[in-house]
A = this chain, B = another copy of it.
């Protein structure tokens, strides 16, 4: 077995091998560190690789196992953390100017939970500056590159996490998702990305983008891996008043329940429109696979879906600016040019527009609730298009970025408004070899059914077994 095989092994298998001492946590960690060394310079997925520190963590796990202590369900599994989440002793950069970096004295609770389960924190992943964007502008840390084609964007803002997972540079990663930032890079990089129900995972120790839309979740190569990480990270924390304690069923069993009896709502209006024909075709094929495996399709209508877009835009704009207000007044020039414009724009949105957007949100959530009556999940493409080129001309980048954002967030951002759980799972490749994602949306706190449907679909296909070519970088 070459060390690269370790780097693409399911999380559960990896942990079992470490727990049974078939393989040491240190060996596993070193396999990933060596792959990172070889590959990451081309992908730029990491802002920081925690080499020696990761090895220390791995040794402690090996010692615990040698001493007969239970190492937890993530024994020796290297996890990458989006670099807006606090990890003790290393800087949280949010991919921003170094003036804004700080070094936390404690892990964010979700990181502490991963560690307590035996996970090895292997590094911090690159993202869009302050997570405000889904495309390729990254003035301080440079763009992440899509492992399937290094000239293309990985999507964002959790692009580093998805690229690292796709390229075998970690076993799983954490992302955050305000308008699609877990699901979009998952769609573009061929990974599995779960935005759980709002409040499921606490955001204590995480740099905010927009409080009422921010979610945290796992990015992995399989649905089972995502379920495993979700289970470890779920549960309330007093530092995040929006986090809730809601029982998560034992996902492992439910995952294998298959598609029989599952009613899949297909909201044709808005959610299947304005889509690239290849993406559309792949998503339609996915529906046929779901039906072949026993699911029933039902038409569902979301009459006001089109109006969701501006509600999301207003809420993100206002909340992000409110979050950055003091820093903007003191250090405007330390923000990238694109972000300066976006954040300053927030000062000019009237409070009444914000309140009406929040009111509209309550209305849309009722529409989604109605659409999920008589359906277990809703299914849509995750993005309207596959990965787009990285715009290397800084002058053109903002305009290109705006157009791309519209294409990429159309189907994901509305789901942040509702707070409902949503999964992106690979559903095929374009003729050019680019991955495309299928979005599965569920009822609040019913991640179980979302993951069950996603897993059954995944098992019916072979998309998750493909590996990116990682050709040499040519520019």
Q: A: which residues have CB within 8 A of B?
A: 211, 241, 314, 317-319, 321-322, 325, 346-356, 359, 362
Contact = CB atoms under 8 A, between A and B. Distances in A.
Q: How many copies does the complex hold?
A: 2
B241 A356 contact: no
B354 A346 contact: no
A318 B357 CA distance: 13
Nearest to A350: B347
15 contacts: A318-B351, A321-B352, A322-B352, A322-B355, A322-B356, A322-B359, A325-B352, A325-B356, A346-B352, A347-B350, A347-B352, A349-B350, A349-B352, A351-B351, A354-B354
Contacts of A348: 350
A359 B325 CA distance: 13
Contact of A352 (B318, B352, B362): B318
A375 to B, nearest CB: 20
Contacts of A211: 359
Nearest to A348: B350
A346 B354 CA distance: 12
A421 B156 CA distance: 44
Contacts of A351: 314, 317-318, 321-322, 346, 349-351, 353-354
Question: Which of A241, A355, A356, A359 has the most chain B CB atoms closer than 10 A to its own CB?
Answer: A355
Nearest to A242: B362
Contact of A241 (B325, B346, B347, B362): B362
A78 to B, nearest CB: 36
A395 to B, nearest CB: 29
Given A211-B359, A318-B354, A354-B355, 11 more contacts: A314-B351, A317-B351, A318-B352, A321-B351, A322-B352, A322-B359, A349-B352, A350-B351, A351-B353, A351-B354, A354-B354
A356 B325 CA distance: 9
A111 to B, nearest CB: 23
A21 to B, nearest CB: 47
Contacts of A353: 351
A432 to B, nearest CB: 42
Given A241-B362, A362-B241, A318 B349 contact: no
Contact of A355 (B241, B319, B350, B352): B319
A203 B43 CA distance: 54
Contacts of A314: 351
Contacts of A346: 351-352
A322 B241 CA distance: 26
**Residue among A322, A325, A349, A359 with the most chain B CB within 10 A?**
A322
A317 B350 CA distance: 12
Of listed A211, A346, A352, residue having the most chain B CB within 10 A? A352
Nearest to A326: B356
Contacts of A359: 211, 322
Contacts of A355: 318-319, 322, 354
Nearest to A363: B241
Contacts of A347: 350, 352
Residue among A318, A353, A354 with the most chain B CB within 10 A? Answer: A354
Contacts of A349: 350-352
Contacts of A317: 351
A355 B350 CA distance: 11
Contacts of A362: 241
A242 to B, nearest CB: 9
Contacts of A352: 318, 321-322, 325, 346-347, 349
A195 B362 CA distance: 25
A87 to B, nearest CB: 25
Contacts of A350: 347-351
Contacts of A354: 318, 351, 354-355
A346 B325 CA distance: 20
Residue with the greatest number of chain B CB neighbours at <10 A, chosen from A314, A348, A350, A353: A350
